[in-house]
Every structure is written in C-alpha cells, then in structure tokens.
Structure 1
Amino acid sequence: MTNRPTPPTAVVNARVFDGEQTLEATTVIFDATGILTVGGEAPSGARRLDAAGATLLPGLIDAHVHTNAESLALALRFGVTTELEMQGTNTADNRAHITDDDTVADVRSSGFGITPPGGHPSELFPEGFRPGPPPGAPGPSGPAPLMPFSTTPEQAVAFIPQLVERGSDYIKFMVDDGSVEGHPGLPMLDRATLNAGVAEAKRHGKLTVAHALTIEATEMAIEAGIDGLAHLFMDGPHTDEIITLIRDSGAFVVPCVVLNASMMGITGDDLADDPRVAARLDESWMKTLRSSFNHYPRGRITDVLESVRALHHPTITISDTLNTRAVWRRGAQLTAA
C-alpha cells in the first residue's frame, strides 16, 4: 500500500508579517517540507485555515531562558518556536526528547557557564548543590552537567573541548562580581582567564557569550573578543565610549530588559492583568509574573532603556539623549497641563 502525500495547508485571509514588513499577500501555503508559496490562491485539496482578523508571522525566538520541557511547551503556545538557554542542561547530548517532540519549542543551550568556584550563579544555590544525578550515574536526564569552574587560563582552556563534546551550542562566560545581585565580592573571572577561554572557544568554532551586568564587566567581555552579550549593563547610564566599544566590536546584545527590571523591583503586573496572558498561565506563573528579584532597587530602568536606544541608533550621543530627556519632560508637563 502506497502512502499518499499529505496535502498542503493554506492559511488564508491573514495579515502576513515576514519579520520586517507587512506584506500585501494574505495567503501562505506550506507542507511538511516548508513554505511553498506566499500569496496566490489555495490549491485544490489543500487544508484551509481561515485566519481572518489574525496575523501570521515567523516563529519568535526567546534569546535568554533557563528552561525545562514544561516551559518549552508553554513557550510554543505563545508563539515562541526556539529558546536559547543561557545556562542549563539542554545541551545536544541531552535533548533528543525535546527535538523529537513537536508540542514543545526547540532549544539550544550553553550548558553551564565558565565561572570560578563560588562565582555567579553559585550564590543562588544551596551549598553543595549540583544539578542532575550524581556524576557518572545514569538517569532520565542523562549524566550530570559539566560544571566548568575555572580560576586560571589553563583551566578555562581545558574545559572548552569538554563543553564542546558534551554538546554546548555556544560557550558562556560569567563576568560578574555579584554587586548587582546583592552579593558583592563574589569570585570573578580575571582578564587572563576570560581572554584565554574566549580564544580557545573560537579555535573550536564556537560562538561565545558573556553574562555581564556592569559597564566594567561589559568592557572586559568586549575586550576579550566576546561574540555577544547575554545581558545589558544596569549599573548606570551608558557613555559614548561604551556604546562605541560595543558597536565597533561587532558583538550582538541581548538586552534582557525584563531581568534588569526585575532586579530593580519592577514586576510584570500589567501583563498579569491582561486576560490574554492570564488565560494561558497557571497560578505559579502568575505569581512569578507579579513578583521581582528586587536585588538592585537603586538601578534606573530609564538608563537601561536609553542604553538600548543608543545601541539601536549608535550615532546618537549623550547630548542627544539629554536633549531627548528634556523633550520628554516638556511633553509630560504639557500633557499634565
């Protein structure tokens, strides 16, 4: 008996956004191999999905998560088709159960980031904590993840091929003294160790990312040749110098503004109050959305947002930003009047 090919699916009457612009086309036709056509008429025999009043867009990518299978399923319900895990266990050697499951979002992972013993994020875990089963023990989650604690260039270099072998899709470096998290004085990678680790990762053809929450840590990471920043600094307003340094390096930036806001005590109450969001979240997620870390209340979210703006428009100078602030103040006064 010959298996008949599955007929294509036609999404019709949609507002079609391709990631950059809204198209005139209102029909998208696809099958198991991918998108066949954008625009035109639905072919005879196609399964039709009427998307009148809805927008069809590419799957979203969440570029900074710490996740599990349950959260990956929830992400997919919100239109996120890929998550980038910035510390966790979903490395290539440990995610076949995810890759083969079409009910959850796809995931890529750094594994665990290179950090000194006792360095971030060790302060977040109980003493002696080690995720996963004991080292070498079999289990449903696979072997225990590699914990690449490094205090010297030689140690960082030695861990890189191990992380690659275990399936890290990119290599993460923690450049953090704990000052923003409320744990000042944490052990932090020194410049020599960071530089050596980044260089070795690049020799293995791996993308490198850095956890850096301060301007000083950001400078260290960029000067080490990091490919991307998994956070945006939050310890003060940007300077023309730091924006120029990031721009000229070619590094990408994942601002992760929601984390910065949470560190400053800002909650997601507005989202939690939106019935479109609340209808898709259970009680534990709603509680999380209405809470915050509040470890850095002296931070200013306006500084973070202005840094994002300056990175998006790198020709804008500090004087431009100050002028914009004045315009905002005048606008607020006019509105109030």
Structure 2
Amino acid sequence: MASLLFRQARVFDGESVHTDYDVLVVDGKIAQLGSAIEAPADAEIIEAHGKTLLPGLIDSHTHAKPPALEMALTFGVTTELDMFSDPAWMTEQRREAQTRNSMADVRSAMTGASVAGGHPTGLVGVVFDKQCPVLENAEDAEAFVAARVAEGADYFKLVIEDGTILGHEVPRLSDEMVYALVAAAHAQGLMAVAHAMTVELALLAIRAGVDGLMHVAGDRLMTDEEVAEVAQSGIFVVPTLSTMASVYGDKHGQHLAEDDRTRPLLSDAWAENLCQCWHLTNPGSTANVIDATRRLYEAGVDVLAGSDAVTVGVPGTAHGVSMHGELELLVDCGLSPAAALRAATLLPAKRFSLDDRGRIAPGLQADLVLVDGDPTTDVRQTLSIEGVWRRGEQAPRIGQAEGVGTASAASAVAG
C-alpha cells in the first residue's frame, strides 16, 4: 500500500485543531503529523490547504442491515456500532469488514434482550430475518447473556420499552429482569447499554447499573434532580436526535435528502426515507429531547453521536447521511461544533474501547475524512466531503442500492 501525505490541512485530531499541518499515512496507519513532513518516495501527495482532515466518524447507534456499511462509508462514517441485528448478517459483515476497505467497520450487540411480544420483536424482516430469542424470566439472565457472548456480541443491549412512545402498550422486561441482565452482562465482561424512551424507564436502567443509554427520553421534561442522577451515575448517552425527531413527527431529515452534496449519492428510496417521519400518538416532543440533551451535556454527561439508522421503511434516517444531521442537532443542543465532532470520534472510541481509532495520532488506524471548509466552526461543512479513507485506502463514493424491508417497519419504532 502506497504512503499518503496530506499537506497543509486543518487537522481536527479528535480533541483539538491544528492549522497547516501535514499528516503522513504509512501501511494504513497514521505515521506522523506536524509541519513540513518529508514525503516518502512512494507517497501520494494530497494538497489539503483550506480543507479539514477529520478522524473517520463513528455512528454509535445503528442497525446495520446490508448495504448499510457501504452506504455509511460513502458519507464518512468509518465505523458503525450496531445495536441489535440478526447475528447471521452481522457475523458475515464483520468478517467482510476485516478485509474490505470499501465498507465501514462494525461492532454489534447481536441479539438484544426483550420479551415475547415486546419491542422490537415486531420487526422481523427489518432488524432480523426470523424471530429472535427472548427472555422468559430473570433466572434465565445469565444463560441469555452467555448466548450473546457465543454469538460474538461486543456489548450487551437491553430493550426496556413499554410502548408509551410507540402509541400502544407492549410487554417489557420486568425490573427484576433488567437488574439481572445488567449484572450478568458485567459478569461476562460486557458493557450493558439500554433502549429506554421514557424518563422513568431510563432511570430504571441507570439504577440497574447500565453503562449507557441509547436514546434520550422526551416524554416529559427531566427534573434537575434527575439530570443530576444521570450525571452522577457516570453513564454516557446517545440521544439519537434524528430518530427521536422522527418519532415525534418532525421531518428533520428532509433537508439532508435535498442537499446537493448528498442527493446524487442517494437512491430515490433512501432520499424518500429521509423525508418521512413516524405518525404516532405519544406524549412528549423533540423539544423535550433537545432540552434534556442540553442539560445532560452541561452537567458533564458524555454525549455520543448516533443516528439509529435502520433501513428503508423505518422513516427519518439513512446510514451515513443522518450522522451529519445528528451533528447539526447536537449543536442545536448547545454543543460547540468541535464538541459535536468529539461526540462522533474521540468519545465513542473511548467509551466503546476502540483504542485504534477516533483520533488522528501516530500508530492509530488511518480512518480519515477530508472535507472542504472548517466544520470546527460550522458543523454543516462535514457534508462537503472531498474524500474518505479506511485503513489508508480511499473509499469509492457511489450511489447505493435501494433499501429493503418496508413492510413491517411501520408497526414499531426501531430500537
């Protein structure tokens, strides 16, 4: 593999900004960064003055049904963190991602924990091909988690959903099950993360000891005491603002579908999907989610960027594209553009123990995105992509195949 030298770029290294910096990539890894680096004889020179070099983006909440990972990479997402998908899909995709640099890398919870008739068991054909295993009682928690370890799960996902936000009641994991599952996951060495879309269920998850919340609830405003409790717990949150906006009937993705920088790279089906939203009868609002995210961030909670993109038919999102909308919404929550970028690079790498990525530093994997302009002052510039590299190899930026799985998606919200 030839060396790469990015010359005179503005470099956001995951923490801070450096101007007129060179970055040298050798054998798929960052070799050196600084001023006036001498180019190796075999180096490809990329003149980057006026452009910004970013670490590859990490989407901290997706459901990576093919062709999700190819699509993600097109838009600068070099790693997806899958939060409940068919283990057969995920095993094959993880295997492919080890050798193919034309798709994003992926980590997965594999099968998440739910109960018979609970969310998301109604999404057969969307999140998985056949009905997934469910938990019957708290005594089975240890065996359930062990089965996820056998599937190859990188972390453990609990779905604590009573249907409040779906607009209809569904069975959920009991409190006893939640406590038992979190304890079993930690005993197996897995981080435990939870889907919880109401404040009360989020607090249940926190009190049970989860490491992260994969949504920020918007059914009501959080009290100051509740915000303090979340902050004191030390957990992280992934607000999934794009999805929560869709859940509350807001078409936040429409402007992304109509952007000249994205539309040529989107199929008609994915563009239409971005322009849609859920039509549910539920308490709360997008404004509540934004308010909670702002206050949690101000209280010192680590906020990570994640889209909850699934597939065509689950409205409001698209793989890769929606991460850019998520960054915009994080800025609306009071994060600076640089802090929003950290939420998509440094912080998920730290929280999910992805020690070889998330920053631009010597020895780390050369997952990189070059954009025109300065997204550290205007985060909307992340969509002005000049090139994407995974492990030092430039990725193709091509339109994607039509999505699949529209039939059953309209009955429930993705996890």
**TM-score, normalization by structure 1:** 0.82
User: Which moves more between the two structures, 86-95 or 211-220?
Assistant: 86-95
Q: CA deviation at 1:50?
A: 1.6
Q: 1:266·1:294 contact (CA, 8 Å) conserved in 2? A: no
Q: Indicate the residue corresponding to 2:268 in structure 1.
A: 283
RMSD over equivalenced CA pairs, Å: 2.2
* Alpha-carbon displacement from aligned partner over 1:108-133 (angstroms, at most 9, x marks no partner): 1111211110001123448xx9934x
1:194 aligns with 2:178: yes
Q: CA deviation at 1:236?
A: 0.8
Q: Indicate the residue corresponding to 1:221 in structure 2.
A: 205
* Alpha-carbon displacement from aligned partner over 1:72-97 (angstroms, at most 9, x marks no partner): 11111111110011110357744312
User: Which moves more between the two structures, 35-44 or 259-268?
Assistant: 35-44
* Alpha-carbon displacement from aligned partner over 1:255-304 (angstroms, at most 9, x marks no partner): 11111100111111121221112122111110100001132465321211
Change (3 A) 1:204 1:62: same
Q: CA deviation at 1:7?
A: 4.4
Change (3 A) 1:298 1:192: closer
Q: Indicate the residue corresponding to 1:21 in structure 2.
A: 16
Q: Indicate the residue corresponding to 1:141 in structure 2.
A: none
One-letter amino acid matched to 1:215: V
Q: Give the 3-state SS of the residue equivalent to 1:270 in structure 2.
A: helix
For 2:168 and 2:99, the matched residues in 1 are separated by 40
Change (3 A) 1:189 1:224: same
Q: Indicate the residue corresponding to 1:38 in structure 2.
A: 33
Q: CA deviation at 1:315?
A: 7.6
Greater RCO, 1 or 2 (C-alpha within 8 Å, sep 6+): 2
User: Which moves more between the two structures, 61-70 or 293-302?
Assistant: 293-302
Change (3 A) 1:130 1:310: closer
For 2:153 and 2:139, the matched residues in 1 are separated by 19
One-letter amino acid matched to 1:115: S
Q: 1:27·1:42 contact (CA, 8 Å) conserved in 2? A: no
Q: 2:213·2:236 contact (CA, 8 Å) conserved in 1? A: yes
1:117 aligns with 2:112: no
1:10 aligns with 2:5: yes
Among 60, 67, 74, the alignment partner of 2:71 is 74
* Alpha-carbon displacement from aligned partner over 1:181-213 (angstroms, at most 9, x marks no partner): 1222x1111111110111011001001000000
| Percent of aligned pairs sharing the same letter | 36
Q: 2:84·2:127 contact (CA, 8 Å) conserved in 1? A: no
For 2:263 and 2:2, the matched residues in 1 are separated by 36
User: Which moves more between the two structures, 56-65 or 12-21?
Assistant: 12-21
1:52 aligns with 2:59: no
Q: Indicate the residue corresponding to 1:334 in structure 2.
A: none
For 1:130 and 1:84, the matched residues in 2 are separated by 14
Q: 2:65·2:127 contact (CA, 8 Å) conserved in 1? A: no
Q: 2:220·2:288 contact (CA, 8 Å) conserved in 1? A: yes
For 1:130 and 1:13, the matched residues in 2 are separated by 43
One-letter amino acid matched to 1:234: G
One-letter amino acid matched to 2:237: V
For 1:27 and 1:162, the matched residues in 2 are separated by 47
The count of corresponding residues between Structure 1 and Structure 2 is 296
* Alpha-carbon displacement from aligned partner over 1:198-257 (angstroms, at most 9, x marks no partner): 101100100100000001100110011011101111101111122112111111100111
Q: 2:85·2:109 contact (CA, 8 Å) conserved in 1? A: yes
Q: Give the 3-state SS of the residue equivalent to 1:67 in structure 2.
A: coil
**TM-score, normalization by structure 2:** 0.67
For 2:38 and 2:127, the matched residues in 1 are separated by 54
Q: CA deviation at 1:33?
A: 4.8
For 2:259 and 2:165, the matched residues in 1 are separated by 30
1:242 aligns with 2:226: yes
1:102 aligns with 2:101: yes
Q: Give the 3-state SS of the residue equivalent to 2:79 in structure 1.
A: strand
For 1:38 and 1:100, the matched residues in 2 are separated by 26
* Long gaps (5+) in structure 1: 1-5, 133-143, 317-337
Q: 1:90·1:108 contact (CA, 8 Å) conserved in 2? A: no
Q: Give the 3-state SS of the residue equivalent to 2:73 in structure 1.
A: helix
* Long gaps (5+) in structure 2: 302-415
